[in-house]
């Protein structure tokens, strides 16, 4: 059952409805403060996104800002045009990470998200109530994040269910490129280590080769003498001469 909003939002009074699977209150005192944190993760916005996704999977819902959890009307201050625009852009941008469970992108013609404000009376300073209405005219419980998380509402809470992640082509290309880059870095590091070892021990290696060449030379010469074979200069002998 959809709530009936009061004709006037009076500071300090309580709204005639409670949080539910289609209603969520957020006590936001200073609206512009949502975007002052360098990390949006500490601003509360990710929780708002989860609630909106939960409403989409339920078909309908209202996110009301400026009301305490107990239903007391407080209002939101400092609603500048800039902060309102940022919030609307943030909502629109949130859907870049959403897909249907079959992996297809969200159909915007089946989704409606409206942003409305109502003045709060009885306060010394100007404040408003913000109501975000979320409507999904498509299939319910069919929307998830690309990471494979399905969010739904149960009573007044958000719950998550894990599914298989869905990757875009550019995501896959990026992962492949990242793996290739890491592998090449490992190969380059190993090559540098080998080159350093070769440089460090090159004199020792040359001495070992010289010693082995002398032994080969001596064995070869004794064989020539034993079987009275004419010793000809071959490539092998030239190499041994170089070491000797």
Report the distance separating Cα 198 and Cα 28, nearest Å: 66
- Kindly compute the dihedral angle of the four CA atoms of residues 197, 199, 201, 205, in this order, to the nearest 10 degrees: 110
Question: What's the DSSP call for residue 8?
Answer: S
Segment 62-94, tens digit of pLDDT: 999 999 989 999 999 888 888 888 888 888 877
Q: How far is CA 54 from CA 22, 70, 140, 153, in A?
A: 9, 21, 10, 5
For residues 63 and 48, is the Cβ–Cβ distance under 8 A? yes
Report the distance separating Cα 212 and Cα 89, nearest Å: 76
What residue has token string 């852009």? 89
Average pLDDT, the chain: 80
Helices (H), the chain: 45-58, 81-94, 169-200, 202-226, 235-243
Report the distance separating Cα 64 and Cα 6, nearest Å: 13
For CATH 3.30.950, list the domain ranges present in the chain. 9-166
CATH class of 9-166: alpha beta
pLDDT for 170 equals 58
pTM, to two decimals = 0.63
pLDDT for 146 equals 81
Report the distance separating Cα 67 and Cα 51, nearest Å: 16
Q: What is the mean pLDDT of residues 157-181?
A: 71
pLDDT level of residue 131 (50, 70, 90 thresholds): very high
pLDDT for 226 equals 64
Report the distance separating Cα 177 and Cα 139, nearest Å: 36
Beta bridge partners of 149: 162
């Amino acid at each position: 059952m959809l709530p009936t909003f009061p004709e006037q939002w009076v500071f300090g009074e309580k709204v005639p409805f409670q949080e539910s699977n289609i209603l969520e209150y957020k006590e936001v005192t200073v609206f512009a403060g949502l975007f002052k944190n360098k990390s949006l993760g500490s601003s509360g916005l990710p929780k708002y996104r989860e609630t909106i996704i939960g409403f989409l999977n339920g078909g309908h819902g209202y996110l009301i800002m400026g009301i305490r959890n107990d239903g007391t009307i407080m209002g939101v201050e400092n609603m500048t045009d800039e902060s309102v625009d940022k919030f609307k852009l943030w909502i629109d941008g949130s859907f870049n990470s959403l897909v249907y469970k079959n992996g297809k992108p969200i159909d915007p013609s089946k989704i409606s998200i409206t942003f409305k404000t109502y003045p709060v009376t009885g306060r010394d300073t100007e404040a408003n109530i913000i109501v975000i209405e979320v409507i999904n005219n498509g299939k319910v419980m069919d929307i998830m994040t690309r990471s494979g998380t399905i969010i739904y509402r149960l009573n007044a809470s958000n719950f998550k269910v894990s599914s298989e992640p869905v990757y875009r082509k550019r995501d896959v290309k990026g992962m492949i490129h990242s793996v290739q880059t890491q592998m090449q870095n490992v190969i380059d590091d190993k090559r540098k280590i080998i080159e350093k070892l070769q440089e460090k021990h090159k004199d020792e290696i040359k001495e070992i080769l010289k010693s082995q060449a002398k032994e080969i030379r001596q064995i070869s010469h004794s064989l020539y003498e034993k079987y009275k074979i004419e010793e000809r200069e071959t490539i092998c002998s030239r190499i041994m001469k170089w070491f000797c």
